Amino acid sequence: MEGRLPRNPKYHPGRAASEPARAALPGNVRKIAVLRANALGDFIFALPALEALKGRFPEAELVLLATAWHRKFLERRPGPVDRVIAVPQCDGIPHETNRVGNPEEVAAFFQNLRDENFDIAIQMHGGGRHSNPFIRNIGAKLSIGLQDGDAAPLDISVPYCRYHSEVLRYLELVKTLGAVTDRVEPRLCVTAADLKELEVHDLKTPYAVLHPGASDFRRRWPVKKFARVGDALSRLGLQVYLSGTEPECELTARVRLLMREPAENLCGRLSMNAYAALLSGAELLVSNDTGPLHLARAIGTPTVGIFWIVNMITGDSITVAKHRSCIAWNVRCPLCGADCARDGMHNGGCRHETSFVDEVPVHEVLNCASSLIGAKT
């Protein structure tokens, strides 16, 4: 019949040809280890998958293998994680370097993990070059995780594709265990203890927060543009607070110096708990693509995020009702012309310390910010 597409004999409705195999589960799953020993934003991306795991195995203890800051931040915080074990430095873990920690400490750490008798060990740390051998060394009954081209396989592996939503890649991973959820946005609770820590700063309301830092120089929007946004928000009647970690204090100081309107610099003065409370009370956060942006989005604070297009693919918000993203579309280094999207900024791309998001105009950020003022519920 005219207009009808030819039938594909390989097509079977309801079945994805490349869907990963479902895992054969150990009987009576009582203890699950999840390796996710990296930065704040990385943890936020994994939250929907952790919630799905807890929903699938409500009686099992969910143990996060992470860092010391995770343990402090998650203590007594409602959520899917029952316990945190801090990982010592051992061959690329917790950070992707070749550093190796104290051999005796590392050996004792893995022996303690094997003594825990985990039923399932899950690698949510990255492509698996370092982290898959780590997971194997735990000795769990079943191991699952991501697998890049240079990584050893686990019992169940899901391909690691670089340009893919971080949130969705971990949801796809835990689906192999039958763990699914209809809540795909990360969520994080702010506690009374968080709010108590913030009380000493006697904040003025209503307020907005500017976060001009980022661990990668290439994701930093220029400080002069942050200053112009801060001045505009101040003229709209919002108290402006500048935030950042200790290494970012020079950046926030430069923003404050360039601003003409009043603002207070809180850089380096807040714990992670107090910072979560600060974000929860804000009318708006304007930030580079970095951990605090993803924390604010998980808390429910309206946000304007400034993204390089490559990072937007992997880290943008699922919804737009309270979140906007301003995108820098260039993929070549402004200094040498290297194609850092195709060649990789971390694997063969150039190492120039220059902003890849400089092209994002101030008026675009301000238009997004104006559209979100009053969106907080």
> pLDDT tens digits for 44-53?
999 999 999 9
237-250 pLDDT per residue, tens: 999 999 999 999 99
- Give residue 5's pLDDT: 36
Non-local CB neighbours of 106 within 8 Å, separated by 6+ positions: 88, 89, 90, 100
- Give residue 88's pLDDT: 92
Other Cβ atoms closer than 10 A to 195: 16
Kindly state the average pLDDT of the residues 60-67: 97
- Give residue 15's pLDDT: 36
Q: What percent of the chain has pLDDT over 90?
A: 78
Kindly state the average pLDDT of the residues 154-166: 94
Question: If you count them, how many residues does the chain have?
Answer: 377
Angle between helix axes 291-299 and 272-281 (nearest 10 degrees) is 60
Question: What is the residue-averaged pLDDT of the chain?
Answer: 90
Kindly state the average pLDDT of the residues 301-306: 98
Q: Is the pLDDT of residue 375 over 70?
A: yes
- Give residue 97's pLDDT: 52
Kindly state the average pLDDT of the residues 162-177: 95
Distance CA 278, CA 304 (A): 16
Strands ordered across the beta sheet of 264-265: 264-265, 239-242, 207-211, 284-288, 303-308, 323-328
* Two tokens, residue 309: 């297009």
Q: Which region among 8-17, 64-73, 118-127, 323-332 has the lowest average model confidence (pLDDT)?
A: 8-17
From its phi and psi, is residue 7 left (phi > 0), alpha (psi between -120 and 50) or beta? beta
Q: What pTM was estimated for this model as a whole? A: 0.91
